[in-house]
Chains A and B, each alone.
With several copies, the nearest count.
Chain A
Amino acid sequence: MIDILYFAWVRERIGLPRERVDTEATTVAGLVDELRAREDRYALAFADISALRVAVDQELADFDAPLVGVREVAFFPPMTGG
């Protein structure tokens, strides 16, 4: 089981801030493929992966990052702090 968090317009498109999923994916990219296949709102949110950033256990990561032992994955648009 992995906690998945969504922020900003990713959260709005998917319609929820977080969920717990049971996944067989071994990488973030594999997890994205599983989510995309679920429903249109996921397919829409993940349509253009280049517009998204991902954090694995609260550290910025790449989409090919492994999911072994991971507890939390977050998807969001590029950050706009400061």
Chain B
Amino acid sequence: MIGVRVQTEAFDAGAELNAFSEGLQAGAVVTFSGLVRDAGSMIAMEIEHYPGMTERAIAAIAEDAAARWSLERVLVIHRHGRLQVGAPIMMVATAARHRAAAFQAAEFLMDYLKSRAPFWKKEIGADGAEWVAAKASDEDALTRW
């Protein structure tokens, strides 16, 4: 069961985790949630995306993870638009029989979402705005899969 949601609205990570875990046969659930980090002078984060391609790219990544680690369920939620400091940006959840698979699948999803899903972050500060640069380490992280 694969769930993918791309939205501007906030989501309730706790409610998502509980709904995700309801009635599972699997014993291991891993979640990652990303929040807008409080980086000092930043006021907000603006996330641009590529409607259509975003959903396709995330669904492809999620299907890949589900097949590779025999996941019972996988969920990806990613927001776009303007987000305040401390706000939830995105979340992934994976459910597998054993913990190693649930962890690996969640890390795989995160590594691919970072560099292969068409989102672009811009930090809005008091003195202006700046596009977040992609990190070489994020690209390198893909080589382990």
A and B touch in the complex (CB under 8 A): yes
A positions within 8 Å CB-CB of B:
5, 7-9, 11, 55, 58-60, 74, 76-82
Stretch from B17-25, B67-75, B115-123 contacting the other chain: B115-123
**What separation, in Å, do the CA atoms of A5 and B120 have in the docked complex?**
14
Stretch from B8-16, B36-44, B46-54 contacting the other chain: B46-54
Contact across chains for B52 and A58 when beta carbons are under 8 A apart: yes
B positions within 8 Å CB-CB of A:
34, 48, 50, 52-53, 56-57, 78, 89-90, 99, 110, 113-122, 131-134, 139
Contact across chains for A81 and B52 when beta carbons are under 8 A apart: no
Select B118's contact among A9, A11, A79, beta carbons within 8 Å.
A79
How far does the Cβ of A50 sit from chain B's closest Cβ, in whole Å? 12
Which residue on chain B has the smallest CB distance to residue A58? B53
* 20 residue pairs from A and B, CB less than 8 Å apart: A7-B118, A11-B48, A58-B50, A59-B56, A74-B50, A78-B133, A79-B116, A79-B118, A79-B134, A80-B131, A80-B133, A81-B78, A81-B90, A81-B113, A81-B114, A81-B116, A81-B117, A82-B34, A82-B89, A82-B99
Q: Which residues of B contact A77 (CB under 8 A)?
A: 120, 131, 134
Take A81-B90, A81-B113 as given contacts and tell me if A5 and B50 are in contact as well, using a CB distance cutoff of 8 Å.
yes
**What separation, in Å, do the CA atoms of A81 and B131 have in the docked complex?**
12
How far does the Cβ of A59 sit from chain B's closest Cβ, in whole Å? 8
How far does the Cβ of B133 sit from chain A's closest Cβ, in whole Å? 8
Contact across chains for B139 and A76 when beta carbons are under 8 A apart: no
With A81-B113, A82-B89 already in contact, 9 other A-B pairs whose C-beta atoms are closer than 8 Å: A58-B50, A58-B52, A76-B120, A78-B115, A78-B139, A79-B115, A80-B121, A80-B133, A81-B116
**What separation, in Å, do the CA atoms of A55 and B120 have in the docked complex?**
15
**What separation, in Å, do the CA atoms of A77 and B122 have in the docked complex?**
12
Contact across chains for A8 and B110 when beta carbons are under 8 A apart: no
Q: Which residues of A contact B114 (CB under 8 A)?
A: 79-82
**What separation, in Å, do the CA atoms of A80 and B80 have in the docked complex?**
12
Q: Which residues of A contact B118 (CB under 8 A)?
A: 7, 55, 74, 76, 79, 81
